[in-house]
A and B are shown apart, each in its own frame.
Chain A
Amino acid sequence: MSDKNKGLNRARQIYSNRSQRARELKAAGKKIIGYPCAYVPLEMLTALDLVAYQTCGDMKEPITEADRALPHSFCPVMRNCLDCALKNKNDFLDGMVTIHSCDPQEKTARVWESYTNYPYFHFIDMPISVRPEALEYFKSQLDDFRKTLEGFTGKKLSTDKINAAIKAHNRQRALVRELYELTKPSPPRISGTELVQVIKALTSLPVAEGNDLLTETLAEVRNRTEGPAKKSARLLIWSSTLDDADVMDVFEAKANVVMNESCGGIRAYRADVKSSADPLEGLANYYLNEITCARTFRQATLGETRKDYARDLRSRFGYLKGIITEWKINGAIMLLVRYCDPFAFEMPSLKDYFNTLGTPNTYIEYDYTTGALAPLRTRVEAFLETIS
C-alpha cells in the first residue's frame, strides 16, 4: 500500500492545495516568486534561494475581477490567472517574474504589475526567432533579470550557484522524462491525470522537493501492481497548456493519454540546459530554442530563400514523429484554448503534418471553464469512435 504522504498521493495533495507548501515556506522565512509561464528561467530564482511558484488559473473560479482589466475575447488562462491574483489568492508572493512569451503574457504583465503591489516585479522581453542576434538579445535580457534579482535579494548570482541550480533543474527534467517512459507500456504504468497532478505539484515546490517527489513517484509507479486500465486508444494531446486533471479525466474516460505535449505536461522537461562557460548563454539557448511552444518562429534553415512546405512542417513539428512512434500513438488531439493565437495558427499545418504521418487527428477547442467539459467529452468520444 502506498504511503499517503509520498509519491502520487503527495502529488495529489499538493495539486489540490497548491499554495500550502509555499505558504509554509514563506512562514519559515523563504521568499516566494510567482511566474505565469514555462519560459521564465527558474534556475536563476533557485540559485538565489528563491522559491519559484507557478501562478496558474483555476478553471472552477468564475472570472469577476479580471473583467475590469482584460476583455472577454482574450486568453482565458491568463484572464483566470490574473483574476486569481486580483482576488488575493497569491497573497503570499514576494514578487512576480513575467515574460514576453506571447501577447497575452505581455499584455497581462502590464496590467498585473499595475493592479498589484509586490515588492518585486520583473518583465523579461523575448524575441520571436531563434536567429543568433535574437539569442544574444535574449541573453542580455536574462542578464538584466540577474541584476534586478541581485538588487532584490542583496545577493550575488555566482556562476557556481547558477550551475548548481541548472544541475538540479536538469535532474528534474530527466526525472520527468523517466516518468513519461512509464507511459510507453500498454497499458501505461501511470495515467495522464496522475501526470498532470505530478507536474502541477512540481510547479508549486522548490526544485529539490520536487525532485524528491519525482523519485518517490517513480519508485511507486514502477513497483505498483495496479495501474491504469488499458483503453481503446493511446492519445497524444498537443496544446498550449493542459494542466487540469478534470480536463484530462475527460480524455482518459475512454482512452489512455500517454503524451501530454503541453506546458502542463512534458514540454518544459523534454530537453536539458546544456552546460556552457557562461551559464546565461546555456539558459538563453534552452529557453529560446528547446521549448517547443508555437510562439517561436522556426524555419527549416535560418534565412532560407527557398521554401518547401514539407521541410517547413518537419522543422516545426518534427519532434512529434519520434513521440508518435515510440509511444505507439494512434490518435492525436490538437487541443486549443480559445483565443490562443500562436497555437490557433498552427492547427491546419499541424493537421497536415499528422496526416503525412498517417496519425488520425482532430482539433478541439475549449474556453478553460468547467462549462466546457461536457461538450469536450462529446467531441472526444466522437473522435475515439472514428479511430476505434
Chain B
Amino acid sequence: MVVQKEKKTINRLKSMYPLRAKVNETYLKSVEAIQAGKPAVWGMLNFYYGDPILKAMDIEVVYPENYGAIAAAMGVAQQYLDRADAEGFPTHLCGYSLTTLGYASRMMKELKGQIPPEAPLGGMPRPLFLMSSAAICDARYKWFQALGRYMDVPVWPLEAPLPGIKEFLIEGCYDRMVKLGVKNLRDFVTFVEGMVGRNMDWDRLDKTANLMIEVNRVWHEVNELRKARPCPMHSRDFWSAMPAALFLAGDLEDSLRLYQDMYKEVKDRVDNHVAAIPNEKYRLVFAELPPWHSLAFFDKLAERGWNFVIESVGYHPPIPIDLSKVSDPLERITKFSLQFLVGYYEEARKQNVLGGTTAYPYLKYAKEWKCDGALLHPLISCRSASTHLPYVSDMLTEKLKVPSLSIEGDIVDLRLFNPEEALAKAEPFEETMDHYKKMRKQAGFDW
C-alpha cells in the first residue's frame, strides 16, 4: 500500500460531541433509576415505535444491541461471548445477542442480579421488562425470549409489518398496517401501565411524539447537507451522533437543540467549502454496520482521500412525512415508524428494485450523494445487515456503474476483521473507482 506523505485525518464536528455523550448519559441514568427505585427496561431498537411510549412514561431504556457494540469497543465482549457459548447458544448467532446472553448469565447466575463489575458505562441493570421488536431480523425478538432462561421478566413483542413493494400497493394495505400498529401499541401502553402501576400521560405522549418527529426531521436535513461537494460530515460523525435520534437517548428537547446546532455547523461548512477530510478524492457510501471496535480504520482511509458521505440505512431517520393532522399520538407514532419501513417503497417500485427497505436506499444514496464507490461490510454474525449486500452490489453496478468493495468482519468479534488486510485492498479499489467513473461518464451520469 502506498502511504501518502501528507497526513489527513477526519475533521470531526464540534456539535457531535454533546450528542455522543448522550449514550453514556443514558446508561448512567438507567443505573441511577434502578438505585432510586425507578423502572428500567431493556429495549430492542424499534425504529421510533415503542420508545416514545416509554419516554412519555419516564422509563429509562437501555439497548442491548447498543451495549453489545460498547462492550466490543471497550474490549469486554469476549468473556460474554464465551459464556453464551458455554450456555449452549450457537456461536454463529448475532454477536450482540450473544454478548447480552452471556452478560445476563453472568449477572443473574453468578452475581445474583448485581451488575458485573467489569461492565462498561455502569452496565445494564436488571430490567423490569423487555421490549422486543420484529423489525429487521428474527434475532431481535427470539433473543429476548431466550433471556427468559436468566430472568423471569415479561417480554412485549412489537410487531413490524413488512409487505413486498408490489403487494404494498394493493388497496388498503397501508391502512391495515396502521391498524395493526395502533392496536399493538395501544395494548403495549396498557401493558406498560400495568408494569409500572401508573397511567399514561397522553398530553406528554403527544408532545414526545412531536419532538421525536421534529428531532428526526432536523437530523434528516443535516444528512441532506452532506450531498455537498466536498462533503462536510464524515460517517464517523453520523454514527457518533445518531443515538439521540435513533434510540431517543437523553432529553428530546435538548437533543433537538443539539441537532439544530449540528445543522448550523454543517451548513456553515457547506457554505465555506469545508470538508470532513482535508482532500476529498473519493466519495463513498458505507453499508451496513461499522466495525465499532476498529473505527480508526476510517482515519486511515481518510488519509487516502476517502470521504464517507452517507451510510447505514438502518440507522438513518425516515424520509420526513407530514403527520401534523394526525390527532391520535399512537397513530402518529405508528405512521412515523412505518415510514422507516416503507418510506422508500414507492420510489423502489418505480425503479423496480424489490429490496425496498434495504437495497433501494443505497441506490438513492449513491446517486444523490454522488458516490464513487460502496464499502460493504458483511458481518459473520449479523445476517440481517449482510444478506442484501450482494444484491446491493449487483444493483449499484448494474444500474449506476458504482463499484463495491466487500470487507468481511463482525460487529463484536474483532478477530474477524483485519484492518491491515482491508487497507491493502484500498489501492486496487481506487483503480476500480477511477475506471467506473469513466464508465458513468460514458453512460451519461453526471458524476
Contacts and interface: CB of A to CB of B under 8 A. Distances in A.
Nearest to A301: B154
Given A114-B355, A348-B146, A349-B148, A131 B187 contact: yes
A108 B395 CA distance: 16
Nearest to B192: A305
Given A141-B163, A344-B89, A345-B145, A103 B180 contact: no
Interface in B155-205: 155-157, 159, 161-164, 166-167, 170, 172-173, 176-177, 179-180, 183-184, 187, 190-191, 194-195
Contacts of B159: 127-129, 131, 133-134, 137
Contacts of B88: 347-348, 351, 363
Interface in A289-310: 294-295, 297, 299, 303-309
A135 to B, nearest CB: 10
Interface stretch (B210-218, B316-324, B379-387): B379-387
Given A70-B387, A102-B138, A309 B148 contact: yes
B390 A69 contact: yes
A379 interface: no
Contact of A73 (B132, B170, B383, B394): B383
B386 A349 contact: no
A102 B139 CA distance: 10
Nearest to A134: B159
A110 B383 contact: no
B246 interface: no
Given A122-B167, A303-B191, A351-B88, A133 B180 contact: yes
B154 A304 contact: yes
A295 B388 contact: no
Given A107-B388, A114-B391, A129-B157, A352 B170 contact: no
A312 interface: yes
B387 A109 contact: no
Contacts of B89: 344-345, 347-348
A303 B183 CA distance: 13
A-side interface size class: 35 or more
A336 B90 contact: yes
Interface in A123-140: 123-125, 127-129, 131-134, 136-137, 140
A131 B184 contact: yes
A124 B195 CA distance: 34
Contacts of A122: 164, 167
B424 interface: no
Interface of B: 87-90, 92-94, 97, 129, 132, 134, 137-139, 141-143, 145-146, 148-149, 152-157, 159, 161-164, 166-167, 170, 172-173, 176-177, 179-180, 183-184, 187, 190-191, 194-195, 353-355, 359, 378, 380-381, 383-384, 386-391, 394
Interface of A: 67-71, 73-74, 100, 102-104, 106-107, 109-111, 113-114, 121-125, 127-129, 131-134, 136-137, 140-141, 144, 147-148, 294-295, 297, 299, 303-309, 312, 336, 338-339, 341-342, 344-349, 351-352, 363, 365
- Closest 6 pairs between A and B when the two form their complex, measured CB to CB: A123-B164, A345-B142, A133-B183, A137-B180, A348-B88, A125-B163
